[in-house]
Chains A and B, each alone.
Chain A
Amino acid sequence: MTRTDLPTEPAPVTEWVVTGEPIEDIRDRRRRRAAMRKPFTSILRHVLLIAAAALMLYPVIWMVVSSLRPNELIFREPGIILDSFEVSNYTDGWNALSYPFNVYLLNSAIVVIGSIIGNLVSCSLAAYAFARLEFAGKKWWFAIMLVTIMLPIHVVIVPQYILFSQLGWVNTFLPLIVPKLLATDAFFIFLMVQFIRGIPRELDEAARIDGAGHPRIFAQIILPLMVPALATTTIFTFIWTWNDFFSQLIFLTKPSLYTVPLALNAFQDSQSSTDFGQLFAMSVVALLPIFLIFLFGQKYLIKGIATTGIK
Chain B
Amino acid sequence: MSALGELRTLKGGSAPKGRRQNKAAYLFLLPWFLGLAVITIGPMISSLYLSFTKYNLLSPPKFTGLTNIERMIEDERLHHSLLVTFQYVFISVPLQLALALLLAVVLDRGLRGLAIYRSVFYLPSLLGASVAIAVLWRQLFGYDGLVNQVLAWFGIEGQGWISSPDTALGTLMILNVWTFGSPMVIFLAGLRQIPTMYYEAASVDGASRWQQFWRITMPMLTPIIFFNLILQIIGAFQSFTQAFVVSGGTGGPVDSTLFYTLYLYQRGFTSLDMGYASAMAWLLLVIIGAFTALNFWASKYWVFYDDQD
Q: Which residues of A contact B (CB under 8 A)?
A: 1-3, 5-7, 24, 27-32, 34-35, 42, 45-46, 49, 52-53, 56-57, 59-60, 62-63, 75-76, 78, 121-122, 125-126, 128-130, 133-139, 141-163, 165, 179, 181-184, 189-190, 213-214, 218, 239, 242-243, 245-246, 249-250, 260-262, 264-265, 268-269, 272, 276, 279-280, 283-284, 286-287, 290-291, 293-294, 298, 301-302, 305-311
Contacts and interface: CB of A to CB of B under 8 A. Distances in A.
B18 to A, nearest CB: 10
Nearest to A150: B234
Contacts of A134: 14-15, 19-21, 25
Interface residues of B, number: 116
B228 interface: yes
B13 to A, nearest CB: 8
Contact of A165 (B5, B46, B57, B281): B57
A78 B139 CA distance: 12
Contacts, number: 327
B145 interface: yes
A30 B109 CA distance: 10
A287 B3 contact: no
Given A35-B109, A57-B123, A301-B122, A182 B186 contact: no
A2 B4 CA distance: 12
Given A59-B140, A60-B136, A152-B284, A181 B124 contact: no
A137 B182 CA distance: 34
Nearest to A240: B129
5 contacts: A35-B111, A49-B111, A139-B14, A290-B126, A291-B123
A159 B106 contact: no
Given A152-B237, A153-B238, A246-B241, A182 B35 contact: yes
Contacts of B139: 75, 276, 280
Interface string B177-200: 010001001101110110010000
Secondary structure at the A interface, as helix, strand, loop or mixed, is: helix
B155 to A, nearest CB: 15
Given A7-B6, A32-B110, A268-B245, A160 B307 contact: no
Contacts of B202: none
Nearest to B138: A268
Nearest to B180: A56
A189 B29 CA distance: 11
Contact of B40 (A29, A161, A184): A184
Of all A-B residue pairs in the complex, the 9 with the closest CB atoms, nearest first, are: A31-B110, A182-B35, A306-B189, A135-B25, A159-B43, A134-B15, A283-B132, A129-B28, A75-B144
